[in-house]
């Protein structure tokens, strides 16, 4: 197996994809959004319970997709529990920059940083960004987003 491929499918990524964290519905969700990638059929649903000042009390996801999409959603759900909306937005933008540019400035911490290798695979970047795009959609109070 080549080094580049191991960079993408790191142990952490595979572990999250096999046993995704915070998977399922949220009984008291205040915000839910669905995200689709019509080109590959990936689908991520993000559920949030947010309080009145915009803090995410709890987050979950229901994802059907590849290992990259699944682990990105799983790591995201771990990372955003109890974040306020400013911090969640900032994290979204850190992850987005890491996945879509060559910049190494201000990357997110581990385990999210383990998704960095995906950026060398242009055809797979949207697999990793879809959960985050869906999170932003849910936080804005909207219910649907697509990658195309």
What is the contact surface with another protein in residues (CB under 8 A)?
1-2, 4-5, 8-9, 14, 39-43, 64-68, 121, 123-124, 127
The sign of the CA dihedral 75, 59, 84, 73 is positive
Of residues 36 and 132, the one with the C-beta less far from another protein: 36
Minimum distance from residue 1 beta carbon to another protein (Å): 7
Of residues 18 and 141, the one with the C-beta less far from another protein: 18
Minimum distance from residue 136 beta carbon to another protein (Å): 23
Of residues 6 and 82, the one with the C-beta less far from another protein: 6
Assess contact for 118 and 127: CB atoms under 8 A.
yes
């Amino acid at each position: 197996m080549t080094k580049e491929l191991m960079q993408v499918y790191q142990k952490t990524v595979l572990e999250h994809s096999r046993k995704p964290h915070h998977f399922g519905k949220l009984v008291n969700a205040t915000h839910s959004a669905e995200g689709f990638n019509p080109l590959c059929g990936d689908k991520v649903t993000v559920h949030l319970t947010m309080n009145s000042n915009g803090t995410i009390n709890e987050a979950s996801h229901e994802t059907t997709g590849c290992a990259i999409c699944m682990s990105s959603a799983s790591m995201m759900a771990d990372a955003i529990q109890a974040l306020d909306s400013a911090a969640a937005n900032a994290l979204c933008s850190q992850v987005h920059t890491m996945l879509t540019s060559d910049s190494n400035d201000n990357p997110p911490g581990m385990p999210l940083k383990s998704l960095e290798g995906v950026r060398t695979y242009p055809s797979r970047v949207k697999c990793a960004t879809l959960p985050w795009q869906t999170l932003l959609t849910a936080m804005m109070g909207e219910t649907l987003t697509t990658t195309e």
